[in-house]
Amino acid sequence: MPIPRRSYRLLLNRHLGTPGVIVLPEGGFRRARAEIASWPGHAPTPLVELPEVAQAARVAAIHWKDEGGRFGLGSFKALGGAYAVMKLLQAELARRGVANAATSAELAEGKYKEAAQGITVTCATDGNHGRSVAWGAQRFGCRCVIFVHEGVSQGRRDAIAKYGAEIRVVPGTYDEAVRAAQKTAEAEGWFVVSDTSYAGYTEIPRDVMQGYRLMAEEAAEALPRPPAHVFIQGGVGGVAAAVSVQMRARYGAEAPKLVVVEPEKAACLLASAEAGRPMAIEGELDTLMAGLACGEPSLLAWQELERAAFAFMAVPDAAAVDCMRLLAKRTPRLEAGESAVAGLAGLLLAARDPFGRAALGLEEGSRVLLFGTEGATDPELYAKLTA
Ligand SMILES: Cc1ncc(COP(=O)(O)O)c(C=O)c1O
């Protein structure tokens, strides 16, 4: 298999197994699952086996959870932001005395239209989260303003605007866009629906992450046997933490080893693990893996990952492009965007390196679960990179 060797970083988590707080309580997940499963168009995404890749990595099996088709939005993020928008509207309509417990169906059919239109949700995004929030706002009838940094491609901006959201462009990185969204929301009385959490702001990101867990649950349901390893990409860490919680809830002491994989230019989770506390990293965060270009971990995500992640890896952009091509050229073809393949890149790089294999306990009998967290969410860039 023509995957070149590339340099990577690997850090084993020395705090693995330390007791900590419950970040995502089970009741919240049950509510998220029941709600999202009731939405029109809901269906579990496919779990695909990749035997030829497993052979090349000298492991027993690799399963790929393909999120490209999730609610027609192109990524797993459809599960989080839209659900959090719905929860926020419910709570706000109750607070305003409009409806005690508005259902998503009532919101979608416009029963509280006038009141809902007076509520504005906002967030910063590098694409996929904003698309989910905009989609949720459109479905449930509120106003939406999305902040993007300059590096977010026109294709990605258009895909958000398609759902009726106003787009505002901010100089700098994703983290600057997060701050701009927060500041404007404070000034305007808007509601930030963020996928990242910080001290004093955890309720909404918790809902977002509870939504993500559905993806991990579906994967576990469809797997023929429990996985020994999960390699999952990290931006602010929300999805990695949601997968971690779900794997621990499902498999208990037999939970798979969770390896969090980030771009080498935006490895804030690895840096945090190295420092032993959540760390913001400096720099341009200029990675092709746009969804992973985050410089500060989400507080909630960190609280889970600091004790439950087995290891942290950082991989170069070139390895992601190798993996996109690998999947694009296989039969049948799998469309995976730049941010979808970091986990696969981490697995392949570690599996072909005796040090990586030994450190992560990758063996010929290992069964590995990967999450293809997005499809070709920027079709032009995807075509260029896989040509
Ligand atoms: C496709 C894709 N995968 C993974 C991630 C990482 O998610 P998180 O920021 O929760 O770590 C993102 C974030 O935007 C994404 O868009």
| Torsion over CA: 174, 178, 184, 190 (sign) | positive
* Distances, alpha carbon 141 to alpha carbons 96, 203, 220, in Å: 16, 21, 34
Q: How far is the CA of 291 from the centre of ligand 1 (A)?
A: 5
Q: How far is the CA of 386 from the centre of ligand 1 (A)?
A: 21
pLDDT digits (tens, 9 = 90+) for 60-87: 999 999 999 999 999 999 999 999 999 9
Q: Among 66, 126, 322, 378, which one carries the catalytic annotation?
A: 126
What is the residue with the minimal CA distance to atom 13 of ligand 1? 291
Place of tokens 């909630």: 300
What is the residue with the minimal CA distance to atom 15 of ligand 1? 291
Contact predicate 231/52, CB 8 Å: no
Residue 113 annotated among the catalytic residues of the structure: no
Q: How far is the CA of 248 from the centre of ligand 1 (A)?
A: 20
Residue 66 annotated among the catalytic residues of the structure: no
User: Residue 31: what pLDDT?
Assistant: 98
Q: How far is the CA of 349 from the centre of ligand 1 (A)?
A: 21
Tell me if the bond preceding 379 is cis, omega within 30° of 0.
Answer: no
For ligand 1, is residue 291 a contact (CB within 6 Å)? yes
> Which residues does 200 contact at the CB level (< 8 Å), separation at least 6?
none
Q: Which CATH number fits domain 9-76+206-386: 3.40.50.1100, 1.10.260.40, 3.30.365.10, 3.40.50.2000?
A: 3.40.50.1100
User: Residue 5: what pLDDT?
Assistant: 84
User: Residue 126: what pLDDT?
Assistant: 85
Atom of ligand 1 nearest to the CA of 125: 14
Domain boundaries for CATH 3.40.50.1100 within the chain? 9-76+206-386, 81-194
Contact predicate 309/16, CB 8 Å: yes
For ligand 1, is residue 343 a contact (CB within 6 Å)? no
User: Residue 91: what pLDDT?
Assistant: 98
Q: Please give the DSSP secondary-structure letter assigned to residue 46.
A: P
For ligand 1, is residue 238 a contact (CB within 6 Å)? yes
User: Residue 335: what pLDDT?
Assistant: 98
User: Residue 229: what pLDDT?
Assistant: 99
What is the residue with the minimal CA distance to atom 12 of ligand 1? 291
Sites in the chain below the pLDDT cut of 50: none
* Distances, alpha carbon 130 to alpha carbons 62, 101, 221, in Å: 30, 26, 28
User: Ligand 1 test: best mutation among 65, 153, 292, 323, most atoms within 8 Å of CB?
Assistant: 292
Put simply, whether the predicted model's pTM sits higher than 0.85 gets the answer: yes
H or E element, residue 114: helix 113-117
User: Residue 1: what pLDDT?
Assistant: 58
For ligand 1, is residue 234 a contact (CB within 6 Å)? yes
User: Residue 2: what pLDDT?
Assistant: 59
Contact predicate 132/73, CB 8 Å: yes
Tell me which residue of 332, 348, 320 sits closest to 66, measured CA to CA: 332
For ligand 1, is residue 239 a contact (CB within 6 Å)? yes
User: Residue 284: what pLDDT?
Assistant: 82
Q: Return the CATH number of the domain spanning residue range 81-194.
A: 3.40.50.1100
